[in-house]
Amino acid sequence: MQQFPGKFSSDYEANKKFLSEHAIFRSKLLRNEVAGYITRHFKLLEEEAEEQTEEAKESPEPAGASAEQKGVASTS
């Protein structure tokens, strides 16, 4: 995945095809396992990105809000 950034996705068939064209595997089973691993990895990344987007939408405060803007009193 590091050698070919942007070439893999959450599409299993596309990952399997790319691996068939650019890598040598001892068996189809091993190629399919690697394609499945890559697919799961990208699906998890997509889910995490969606969760962060949802959290950002739910949070009314800007990400860079200071403690004083949030209503937290300073003790100094």
Instruction: With 0.75 as the threshold, say if the pTM is over it.
Output: no
For residue 60, the model assigns a pLDDT of: 66
Domain membership of residue 18 as a residue range: 12-57
Average pLDDT over residues 14-33: 95
Q: Within a domain: residue 25?
A: yes
Q: How confident is the model at residue 66 (pLDDT cuts 50, 70, 90)?
A: low
User: Domain count of the chain?
Assistant: 1
For residue 15, the model assigns a pLDDT of: 94
Q: Within a domain: residue 16?
A: yes
Q: What is the mean pLDDT of the chain?
A: 83
CB atoms within 10 A of CB 76: 3
At 14, is the secondary structure helix, strand, or coil?
Answer: helix
Q: Within a domain: residue 1?
A: no
- Exposed, middle or buried by CB within 10 Å (0-12, 13-18, 19+), for 18? middle
For residue 54, the model assigns a pLDDT of: 85
Average pLDDT over residues 40-66: 81
CB atoms within 10 A of CB 42: 17
DSSP state of 64: T
